[in-house]
Structure 1
Amino acid sequence: MLAISLAIIIGIALPIETAVNSRLQGVLKSPYFASLVSFLMGTILLTCMLLFTGHSFLIAGNFFSNHPWWIWLGGVLGVIYLTGNILLFPKLGGIQTVLMPMVGEIFAGLVIDDLALFGSGHHALTWLRALGTLLMIIGIVFAVVLPERARKATFQGAAEADARRREPTRWLWQLLGILFGTFAACQTAINGHLGQLLKSPIQGAYVSFIVGTVLLLVVVLWQNHSLRLPAGALAREPWWIWFGGFIGALFVLGNVYLVPIIGTGLTVVIVLLGQIVGGLLVDQFGLLGAKRSPIVPLKVIGLIVMMFGVTLIKIF
């Protein structure tokens, strides 16, 4: 029960991180630069946690040769997932940018469990777990897709949606959205296994953030040729916009801790449930400068259906 509660809590925290990083992106005028700052702040927090707990920053040389190469890919997949969502939004719009990766993440998490990929424990994909997965997808449609469609049922919104539907490569972007979601599930499994091998969830999360930070640093320098902050960025903006990475670090750390305990598939679906709850709270109260969007009955129905789905996946 403690693991389930932790998964919901870190899921709730993720939309808060998204709101913070969105504000930061507006200040820095670059999504990649904002992601770099977020990863860097997360790395600083994990560094402090390593120092406080007495864990080593170093990894034994034979560790690299004794374990498969893919255990270092967690941070890379995290950056691809983050960048992928940035690329998806103008092509698919807000609804499908949320939906497609979630679908990929849910299915990939259950497949990883069923095939025991990336060092995950084996959790067979029974028909009841499959039914739970279907209920999760239906719940997401009710909680996210239908309310958003109703809210955007305006002449301008319909025109934009029609323009996107006419785009010949739309189906390719939809497949890419599902693929990016599978990357997120793989990242969760890989980081969980790395934490097990290092015998430290903190060190596993730290390695993932170091890899992601270095990769984003290369991307930002290649794109912007500079790490200079816009004039007045530190003075004019609230202090909290710089600390979204702290939430991201705790999110990854929570996943690294949970995967060996409850498996990749269950971790993914419960965190997604928490993510929907957190997103509804951010919208309902307009937290951190987000636009207010009151909770409607469709969203409540979606949450209830998702909870039934999680229950089936958890029990069976």
Structure 2
Amino acid sequence: MITALIGILIGTGLSFQTAVNSQLRKFVISPYLASMISFVIGAISLAVIILITGSPLGIGWGFITQQPVWIWLGGVLGVIFLTVNILLFPKLGSVQTAIMPILGQIIMGMLIDNFGWFHSMKESFDIYRLIGIVLVLVGVFFAIAVQEFKSRIEKTQEINPTLWIWRLVGIASGMLMSTQVAINGQLGIVLQSSIQAAFVSFFIGALTLIIVVGVKDRSYTAIRNPIKQKASWWVWLGGFLGAAYVLINIYLVKQVGTGQTVVLVLFGQIAGSLLIQRFGWMNSLKMRIDWIQIGGLMLILAGVIFIRIF
């Protein structure tokens, strides 16, 4: 019971991380700078944990050159995922920002499992996975499409095609997240330390964003804006939530296995996004949630269960 609650809470925390980082962006303006702050804080948090546990921070150059290039790309993919979520949140709202990447995660996860990409264990596509993906697609339709068509008909307005472009971007970012999980999992195996693998991923992501901000924004001074404008203290929590998400996932996988961990976390993520959107927490846009959307979300969860457990 306690383990299940922890999984749901960390999934909820992931939804809050997106909301927090989106609010941080309002002060620093640049989505890249907001992502950089989150990654730097997450990397520092993990570094402190590693030092406390007595594990090494550094990795030998010889070891680095012996590994395939893709094994070091998890942090870069994390950068893209986090930055895209910051961009999606004000466009689609909390619920859709959670749903579309979940769809992408499932699609890419099944491809990785079926073909054994990134040295992952092969799991062939079967009838249960087919049922799961159908449930997810139907759930997405009820959670998003039906609601949009209904609102547009009532207001006699045309459907905005731009929103569907952003939704496709969300699906693509979810595919990158599944790829990141597979890559970081393999990195944890070769390093023989999940915590060190998480730190390497965050460190590479932070370094990537520092370079991107320097090239694109050409200034880091906006970091002081939240302090100058007396932003709420919680705008700095995105990095801590990201680091906690990685570490607690490691713990849960050892306790209940990967399948149940994914289901618990995704349930928490969906529940968190509903709460944020319904009550307008973290200064997000407050939107009504109806029974059609809730039914769609439950179908998505059922689909995830079929895909991950059976």
Q: TM-score, normalised by structure 1?
A: 0.82
Tell me what 2:162 maps to: 164
Determine whether 1:276 maps to 2:273. no
5 Å matches for 1:79-158?
79-85=79-85, 100-147=100-147, 150=150, 155=155, 158=157
Q: Distance in 2 between matches of 1:110 and 1:216?
A: 29
Determine whether 1:240 maps to 2:250. no
Contact 2:31-2:87 within 8 A present in 1 as well: no
2:194 to 192, 201, 214: 201
Contact 1:99-1:140 within 8 A present in 2 as well: yes
1:226 to 219, 241, 261: 219
Q: 1:269 Cα shift?
A: 5.9
Determine whether 1:307 maps to 2:305. no
Amino acid in structure 2 at the alignment position of 1:42: G
Bigger mean CA deviation after superposition, 121-130 or 16-25? 121-130
Residues 110, 227 of structure 1: alpha-carbon distance in 2 compared, 3 angstrom cutoff? same
Amino acid in structure 1 at the alignment position of 2:178: A
Contact 1:273-1:306 within 8 A present in 2 as well: no
Tell me what 2:36 maps to: 36
Residues 11, 96 of structure 1: alpha-carbon distance in 2 compared, 3 angstrom cutoff? closer
Amino acid in structure 2 at the alignment position of 1:225: R
The count of aligned residue pairs is: 307
Contact 1:12-1:277 within 8 A present in 2 as well: yes
Q: Distance in 1 between matches of 2:179 and 2:15?
A: 20
Residues 71, 49 of structure 1: alpha-carbon distance in 2 compared, 3 angstrom cutoff? same
Contact 1:21-1:38 within 8 A present in 2 as well: yes
Determine whether 1:50 maps to 2:50. yes
Contact 1:273-1:303 within 8 A present in 2 as well: no
Amino acid in structure 2 at the alignment position of 1:195: G
Contact 1:105-1:268 within 8 A present in 2 as well: no
5 Å matches for 1:260-271?
262-263=257-258, 271=265
Q: Distance in 1 between matches of 2:59 and 2:249?
A: 21
Q: What SS class does the counterpart of residue 124 from structure 2 fall into?
A: coil
> What are the ranges of 5 or more consecutive residues in structure 2 without an aligned counterpart?
none
Tell me what 2:17 maps to: 17
Tell me what 1:288 maps to: 282
Identity in percent: 41
> 1:126-173: per-residue Cα shift (whole Å, max 9, x none)?
1112211221232233344544555676759x35x44638xxxx87x7
Q: 1:113 Cα shift?
A: 1.6
Q: Distance in 2 between matches of 1:132 and 1:163?
A: 28
RMSD of aligned Cα (Å): 3.3
Determine whether 1:252 maps to 2:246. yes
Contact 2:115-2:122 within 8 A present in 1 as well: yes
Amino acid in structure 2 at the alignment position of 1:247: L
Q: What SS class does the counterpart of residue 293 from structure 1 fall into?
A: coil
> 1:196-242: per-residue Cα shift (whole Å, max 9, x none)?
22222211111111111111111111122111037653041111101
Determine whether 1:188 maps to 2:186. no
Contact 2:143-2:296 within 8 A present in 1 as well: yes
Amino acid in structure 2 at the alignment position of 1:211: I
